[in-house]
Amino acid sequence: MQLLYVGLGGFLGAIARFALAGLAQDLSRSIHFPYGTLTVNILGCLLIGFLSGVFALHAWLRPEWRLFILVGFIGSFTTFSTFMGETYGLMEDGQFNLAFNNVFVHLALGLLAVWVGQSLTRLIWR
């Protein structure tokens, strides 16, 4: 059943991300800056911060709702929010070096992985 809760939330989160990012990008009228992605990422961070606080304060909320909303919906809406939530958790625990390293490693390795993927594509399908 846990997979069903996560999967259904993920399905709805992906649809919401696609719709909101497209709308925000269209409203911005920008063809250069990804305002749609920025909008979704920042809104996802706000939602995961607020809702994880709600779940922490209200034990009466069933774990299934946490799976559906936090893991499924918001996790699919934007994984950036999970990344930021985890980084914030490290900072809250006083582990500032780990928080900084988390941000740096995600950005550096993420950019490197995109470059490697693009390079492999060019190498294979030249």
* Residue range 75-115, pLDDT digits in tens: 999 989 889 999 999 999 999 999 999 999 999 999 999 89
User: Is residue 90 one of the residues assigned to a domain?
Assistant: no
- Rounded distance, CA 111 to CA 91, Å? 24
* Residue range 5-40, pLDDT digits in tens: 999 999 999 999 999 999 999 999 998 999 999 999
User: Is residue 108 one of the residues assigned to a domain?
Assistant: yes
Look up the domain containing 114 and give its range: 95-126
With a CB cutoff of 8 Å and minimum separation 6, the contacts of 64 are: 1, 2, 5
- Residue 33 is classified by DSSP as S
User: Is residue 70 one of the residues assigned to a domain?
Assistant: yes
Residue 77 and residue 50 in one domain: yes
User: Is residue 61 one of the residues assigned to a domain?
Assistant: yes
- Contact assessment for residue 50 and residue 74, using Cβ atoms and an 8 Å cutoff: no
pLDDT band at 52 (very low <50, low <70, confident <90, very high): confident
What pLDDT sits at residue 109?
93
Please count the structural domains in the chain.
Answer: 2
User: Is residue 86 one of the residues assigned to a domain?
Assistant: no
